């Protein structure tokens, strides 16, 4: 028991520090480890920790919102090519390290009660990497052993179906080897809760229109995906997971019941997974800004307090773009920052964020006359994942955990599969639960603003719309649209922001010291301004370009040149079919 506890503390230390004498003993982890590495629990643990760092190192997908309809940024023509590295994923160096552990650790002298969970964690990490390759590219070469220079390295691609089978086999074997739930100093390690939740995600993709264009919603994979996601939900419910009662606390506290797989950040050893220095307005940041700024379309996606869409005549709340922040879904206040709203960055009590030219500080403004203005300004900011108390000089010390999988995602996965397998009541209940937690009013009919008697197609869209709001800036939206073969939503899209053009009737070039003084004292309120909805300002492309060939990205040409047995995807000059044909 002491040995297991020692490894637990060691794991967390190495995971967040990536340094120390134990790591040194493993030598260069890119090479084959020294003899005896897997006879010792400490060096085995160090090797495994390095794999975690290589596999789950990305943190918050900051900037990904610009690829979809959430954030500023325009994806123009030629974004992805066979030559560039955009949207390419080929982690075979890390897979080789995982295969080394899976070959050597079973034969090592580490006791079974310690090494078996390590083997299970490594199998999960391998499945995690293969799954990402598959939803990027389709089928890829399956390599289960550490290749040597004497081996035939020119391995052909396996079919997409074979890759899914391989991924699911690894996940099932991982689930049999890891405990039900890690807590305390073990939090962040792969356990059964993580494996089952992730398996549900994998099977959701396998059933999706992306992989089944000829039969997008009636293929047999949906039933398998439903069974897996319901099993994951039931397991999580039985083991203390669930929706956190307060949505605003999901990203402000650690180790709570909603986070299933967390990438843990700890100041000062491992920080800034949120890239807060790029997300904050420049006046309270350092050297950078412009990431994850919500578009006007994203602002309008949030419902009103009664769950109705803005402007819906049946809503109890009137909607006016001049007071767009009033009476909205509480998640709007929890995640959005608009002109004149309270945003207490650097711990400044009562601080309000301004975005009007001549009123806002530094480059915080969104206006036609600002030097250096570009399409990343939208007139909106976000508070999701931001540690507002940090001063600008310490903005890179943000150590908010990245929730790679949280309970709400499992609910949405379960809802999608329920809807596609003839169980609309189960899917609708998920939406009600999500909206209830958000603080939306139930209404006299208990529908939380949702339409009664929705068709399968309507409920499918309602799930996607709700997830767009719930997971804003968590890197889900682009992949959800792609998974449903709905890139047409983005293709040709123009993006807009909300510009404060007047304050108390005065344009930017009429502003007096009185207004500036009020702004400096944070006395100007959102309703003191006049707003216009304007297209994002850019010298580059103005429309999004998302062709159908982006449903599967190409293998990078440099990899094909190294291995002529790799076939390119059929929409990229080759004849490999990445679907489950």
Q: What is the full DSSP assignment across 161-177?
A: HHHHHHHHHHHHHHHTT
The reported pLDDT for the residue numbered 154 is: 87
The reported pLDDT for the residue numbered 149 is: 59
Predicted TM-score of the model (pTM): 0.94
Torsion, Cα of 237, 265, 302, 466 (10° steps): -40
Alpha carbon of residue 503 to chain centroid: 37
The reported pLDDT for the residue numbered 375 is: 65
Neighbour tally for 148: CB within 10 Å: 9
Label residue 150 by pLDDT band (50, 70, 90).
low
Q: Enumerate residues 6+ apart whose C-beta is below 8 A from 216.
A: 208, 209, 484, 485
The reported pLDDT for the residue numbered 289 is: 82
Q: Which of 318, 231, 206 is CA-nearest to residue 578?
A: 206
The reported pLDDT for the residue numbered 376 is: 75
Whole-number Cα distances in Å, 42 to 75, 118, 181, 506: 46, 12, 22, 67
CB 37 within 8 A of CB 46: no
Q: Which of 70, 181, 203 is CA-nearest to residue 135?
A: 203
CB 475 within 8 A of CB 64: yes
Q: What distance separates the 2 farthest-apart alpha carbons in the chain?
A: 78
The reported pLDDT for the residue numbered 16 is: 37
The model's pLDDT over 407-435, given as tens digits with 9 standing for 90+, comes to 999 999 999 999 999 999 999 999 999 99
Average pLDDT over residues 64-71: 96
Q: Enumerate residues 6+ apart whose C-beta is below 8 A from 531.
A: 321, 322, 324, 339, 498, 499, 500, 501
In the chain, pLDDT over 70 holds for what percent of residues? 93
Average pLDDT over residues 318-330: 98
Average pLDDT over residues 494-512: 97
The model's pLDDT over 216-241, given as tens digits with 9 standing for 90+, comes to 999 999 999 999 999 999 999 999 99
CA atoms within 13 A on the CB side of 439: 16
CA angle 456, 458, 464 (to 5 degrees): 105
> Is 578 a residue whose pLDDT tops 90?
yes
The reported pLDDT for the residue numbered 371 is: 54
Q: Which domains does the chain carry? A: 1-55+89-178+547-581 (1.25.40.890), 276-396+493-535 (no CATH)
CB 137 within 8 A of CB 553: yes
What backbone phi and psi angles, to 5 degrees, belong to 497? -125, 180
Could you give the 3-state DSSP secondary structure of residue 548? helix
CB 546 within 8 A of CB 490: yes
H-helix or E-strand spanning residue 500: strand 496-503
The model's pLDDT over 1-29, given as tens digits with 9 standing for 90+, comes to 333 433 443 343 334 333 333 333 444 44
CB 462 within 8 A of CB 431: yes
> Is 473 a residue whose pLDDT tops 60?
yes
Average pLDDT over residues 357-381: 82
Label residue 148 by pLDDT band (50, 70, 90).
confident
Average pLDDT over residues 202-208: 99
What backbone phi and psi angles, to 5 degrees, belong to 294? -65, 145
The reported pLDDT for the residue numbered 492 is: 98
Q: Which of 188, 88, 134, 65 is CA-nearest to residue 476?
A: 65
Average pLDDT along the chain = 93
> Is 485 a residue whose pLDDT tops 60?
yes
In the chain, pLDDT over 90 holds for what percent of residues? 87
Q: How far apart are CA 541 and CA 537, in angstroms?
A: 10
The model's pLDDT over 334-365, given as tens digits with 9 standing for 90+, comes to 999 999 999 999 999 999 999 999 999 878 99
By the 10 Å C-beta count (0-12 exposed, 13-18 middle, 19+ buried), 406 is classed as buried
Lowest-confidence segment of 176-190, 274-288, 509-523, 560-574 by average pLDDT? 274-288
Q: How far apart are CA 54 and CA 37, in angstroms?
A: 19
DSSP 294: B
Q: Which of 485, 518, 47, 471 is CA-nearest to residue 258?
A: 471
Average pLDDT over residues 563-576: 96
Q: How far apart are CA 285 and CA 521, in angstroms?
A: 20
CA atoms within 13 A on the CB side of 265: 25
> Is 379 a residue whose pLDDT tops 60?
yes
CB 380 within 8 A of CB 373: no
Letter string b/e over residues 155-179, b meaning 16 or more CB atoms within 10 A of that residue's CB: bebbbbeebbebbbebbeebbebbe
Q: How far apart are CA 401 and CA 42, in angstroms?
A: 25
The reported pLDDT for the residue numbered 15 is: 42
> Is 207 a residue whose pLDDT tops 50?
yes
The reported pLDDT for the residue numbered 4 is: 41
The reported pLDDT for the residue numbered 21 is: 38
The model's pLDDT over 524-562, given as tens digits with 9 standing for 90+, comes to 999 999 999 999 988 889 999 999 999 999 999 999 999
Please report how the helices 192-207 and 160-175 are oriented relative to each other, as an axis angle in degrees rounded to 10: 160
> Is 304 a residue whose pLDDT tops 90?
yes
Q: How far apart are CA 378 and CA 386, in angstroms?
A: 18
Q: How far apart are CA 137 and CA 551, in angstroms?
A: 9
H-helix or E-strand spanning residue 406: strand 402-406
């Amino acid at each position: 028991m002491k040995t297991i506890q020692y490894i637990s503390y060691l794991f967390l230390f190495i995971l967040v520090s990536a340094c120390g004498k134990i790591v040194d003993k493993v030598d260069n982890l890119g090479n084959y480890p020294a003899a005896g590495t897997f006879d010792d629990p400490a060096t085995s643990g160090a090797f495994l920790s390095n794999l975690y760092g290589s596999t789950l190192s990305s943190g918050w997908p900051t900037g990904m919102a610009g690829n979809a309809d959430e954030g500023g940024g325009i994806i123009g023509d030629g974004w992805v090519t066979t030559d560039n590295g955009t949207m390419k994923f080929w982690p075979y160096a890390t897979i080789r390290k995982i295969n080394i552990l899976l070959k050597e650790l079973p034969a090592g002298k580490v006791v079974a009660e310690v090494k078996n969970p390590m083997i299970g964690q490594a199998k999960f990490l391998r499945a995690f990497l293969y799954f990402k390759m598959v939803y990027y590219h389709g089928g890829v070469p399956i390599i289960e052993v550490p290749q040597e220079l004497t081996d035939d390295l020119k391995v052909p691609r396996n079919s997409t179906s074979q890759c899914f089978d391989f991924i699911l086999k690894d996940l099932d074997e991982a689930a049999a080897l890891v405990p039900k739930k890690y807590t305390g100093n073990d939090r962040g390690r792969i356990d059964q809760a993580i494996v089952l939740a992730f398996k549900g995600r994998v099977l959701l993709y396998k059933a999706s229109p992306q992989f089944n264009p000829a039969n997008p919603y009636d293929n047999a994979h949906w039933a398998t995906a439903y069974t897996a996601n319901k099993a994951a939900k039931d397991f999580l419910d039985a083991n203390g997971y669930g929706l956190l009662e307060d949505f605003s606390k999901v990203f402000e506290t650690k180790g709570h019941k909603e986070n299933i797989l967390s990438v843990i950040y700890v100041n000062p050893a491992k920080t800034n997974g949120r890239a807060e220095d790029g997300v904050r307005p420049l006046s309270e940041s350092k050297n950078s800004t412009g990431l994850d700024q919500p578009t006007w379309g994203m602002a309008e996606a949030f419902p009103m307090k009664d769950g109705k869409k803005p402007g819906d005549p049946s809503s109890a709340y009137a909607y006016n773009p001049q007071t767009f922040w009033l009476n909205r879904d509480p998640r709007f206040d929890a995640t959005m920052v608009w002109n004149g709203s309270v945003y207490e960055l650097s711990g400044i009590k009562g601080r309000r964020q301004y975005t009007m030219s001549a009123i806002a500080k530094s480059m915080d403004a969104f206006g036609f006359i600002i030097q250096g203005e570009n399409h990343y300004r939208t007139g909106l900011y976000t508070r999701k994942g931001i540690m507002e108390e940090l001063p600008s000089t310490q903005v890179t010390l943000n150590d908010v955990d990245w929730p790679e999988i949280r309970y709400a995602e499992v609910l949405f996965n379960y809802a999608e599969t329920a809807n596609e397998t003839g169980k609309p009541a189960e899917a609708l209940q998920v939406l009600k639960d999500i909206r209830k937690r958000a603080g939306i009013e139930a209404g006299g009919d208990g529908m939380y603003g949702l339409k009664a008697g929705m068709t399968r197609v309507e409920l499918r869209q309602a799930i996607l719309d709700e997830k767009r709001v719930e997971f804003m800036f968590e890197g889900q939206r682009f992949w959800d649209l792609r998974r449903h073969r709905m890139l047409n939503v983005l293709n040709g899209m123009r993006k807009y922001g909300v510009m404060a053009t007047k304050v108390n009737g005065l344009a930017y070039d009429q502003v007096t010291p009185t207004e500036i003084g009020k702004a400096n004292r944070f006395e100007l309120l959102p309703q003191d301004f006049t707003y216009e909805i304007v297209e994002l300002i850019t010298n580059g492309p103005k429309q999004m370009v998302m062709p159908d060939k982006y449903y599967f990205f190409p293998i990078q040409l440099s990899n094909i040149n190294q291995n002529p047995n790799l076939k390119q995807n059929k929409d990229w000059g080759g004849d490999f079919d990445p679907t489950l044909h």
